[in-house]
Chain A
């Protein structure tokens, strides 16, 4: 359960960080967001990752939890990158 929560929070965090970047906003949202929006997206992304760390540490012990957190960050980021790399295949289905 703790593993799942850590993973899901990381999986929330990375897309927020992705969308905080102008280049990816153009790709995914087809427009540029205001600097204030970017900042809040980035902040919430980092908060989600920090929450993942807190959940992993509190639930699994801080030593064990830290190792697991880094592992889940890697997995979550790889999934976000896989989706981002296949944007041209996914976008037409999401926004025809």
Chain B
């Protein structure tokens, strides 16, 4: 029996190793992009804040709410509905007002952007801010979302398979826990891959699994199709549209917004409204819907419906079912919006570990195979493809992000479709790095692409200081930690890229094994 089980065990491990290699490699570049942009998106609001330097940092004040009220009453007294979108405590977004005219009535739809601190009307530069980086990590760009999401879902499934098979094939997960040996070629890359994977393993498992949960109905639409006539019917049942009230025709002033917001905060306990819709403002049948922003982990807050004239609840808060709450909690765990600043940094650092895990795995594939190539000077097509994709994606995507930030400061403010051009700049820069590195020898390509990354990230705080009044030093004096943190992160990223570029430049290829060296020497003759 013993003799029989031993080969079976090896072959099981071997088959898991193959599974790990290919589920990791094939979607590897997409996974790198998802991890990179997803990690950055933990600071979505802070990035939006930096990309809208006209907007002061801080939550919505009572004074701003009062001014919002006055603006709406002056501009659209007879509107059918008013909408107010409130920025979260983390800032990044303006206080946005919009209104819809009554059917058949006069007036036009309109909107207004206010600064949440004082309620003054502000003109913001046209930008998608951190929102784009967040959306890109599951909707991609230039392709429709219904193609992007299945792709991302498949990549995430492969990731889960790669993590689980990776645990199986890691022979010494505890014995090698603390081992990271540099200067040993392939061994060092394996160590780096293992360390970044094992140290944040709970995070990697959690983020991959909950990521799949966010794409649940992309992956498994049958749960809906088996129980509902169509998808819309499901979403109507899961997220009810709320009550409607016909205008009574009797004028009655709307309660102050502050009072409505306070009422919502009292009812929810720990959440603040992020969106308020008001139907029939100024009527006795004014209907106010308040939607909760991020709250404590695992506490879904359903929308609250109040009568705007009396402040009484129009319908009781629905009680969410167990499955719904479980799904919501997993999504909250994935997005980390419930976390405070310290935990957000931990999320970010673990995500950075995941990004490095994917990158080191991709590089490891080439390192492992380079030694075995029949002729290292003329690698086969598959090897060259992986090698070039590695450089173009691992060094190209971060360069693109730096250019996205630079474009936010440098593109003319009155440019048409400015927000789109910020995004296009990201991909133009990324594409340029990709094409440039294709034309260079591998080692030079890595070095030059990383050096370009370092230079671009170092430029971001410089350009920020030159084009706004909120440079690193004034922000330090103003104790504006979002701006200080952003510029600091840019400098840290520049330093990390420069360090890696320097490591590449000073790296000496390991001496080839003697037999291989002879073959190469003979080939060269």
Binding site for B on A (CB under 8 A): 3, 14, 17-18, 21, 23-24, 61, 63-64, 67-68, 70-75, 77-78, 80-81, 84-85
Contacts and interface: CB of A to CB of B under 8 A. Distances in A.
B178 A71 contact: no
Nearest to B348: A71
A58 to B, nearest CB: 16
B349 A75 contact: yes
B342 interface: yes
A74 B195 contact: no
B217 to A, nearest CB: 25
B199 A81 contact: yes
A85 B181 contact: yes
Contacts of B499: none
A24 B179 CA distance: 10
Contacts of A75: 346, 349
B178 A84 contact: yes
Given A78-B199, A84-B178, 12 more contacts: A18-B178, A21-B178, A61-B296, A61-B297, A63-B297, A64-B296, A64-B339, A67-B343, A68-B342, A71-B203, A74-B346, A81-B195
28 contacts: A3-B343, A18-B178, A21-B175, A64-B296, A67-B339, A67-B343, A67-B346, A68-B342, A71-B203, A71-B343, A71-B346, A71-B347, A71-B350, A72-B346, A73-B202, A74-B200, A74-B346, A74-B349, A74-B350, A75-B346, A77-B178, A78-B195, A78-B199, A78-B353, A81-B180, A81-B195, A81-B199, A85-B180
Contacts of B181: 85
A67 B333 contact: yes
A67 B346 CA distance: 9
Contact of A24 (B178, B203, B353): B178
Chain A interface helix/strand/loop/mixed:
helix
Interface string B101-133: 000000000000000000000000000000000
Contacts, number: 65
Instruction: List 8 tightest A-B contacts by C-beta distance, closest first.
Output: A71-B346, A74-B200, A85-B180, A70-B202, A63-B297, A3-B342, A77-B199, A74-B199
B349 A64 contact: no
B178 A64 contact: no
B22 interface: no
B145 interface: no
Contacts of A67: 297, 333, 339, 343, 346
B383 interface: no
A64 B297 contact: yes
Contacts of A72: 346
Contacts of B296: 61, 64
B338 interface: yes
Contacts of A80: 178
Contacts of A85: 180-182
Nearest to B196: A78
A63 B328 CA distance: 14
B298 interface: yes
A34 to B, nearest CB: 19
A85 B181 CA distance: 6
Interface string B318-354: 0000000000000001000011001100110110010
A80 B177 CA distance: 10
Contacts of A70: 202-203, 206, 350
B4 to A, nearest CB: 33
A78 to B, nearest CB: 6
A67 B340 CA distance: 12
A72 B338 CA distance: 17
A75 B199 CA distance: 8
Contact of B343 (A23, A24, A68): A68
A21 B199 CA distance: 18
Interface in B170-187: 175, 177-182
Contacts of B346: 67-68, 71-72, 74-75
Nearest to A71: B346
Contacts of B297: 61, 63-64, 67
A51 B272 CA distance: 34
A53 to B, nearest CB: 12
Contacts of A24: 178
A32 B349 CA distance: 35
Nearest to B346: A71
A71 B349 contact: yes
A64 B343 CA distance: 9
A81 B178 contact: yes
Contacts of A18: 178
A72 to B, nearest CB: 7
Nearest to B176: A23
Contacts of B195: 78, 81
Nearest to B180: A85
A84 B179 CA distance: 8
A70 B333 CA distance: 13
B428 to A, nearest CB: 35
B199 to A, nearest CB: 5
Interface string B242-283: 000000000000000000000000000000000000000000
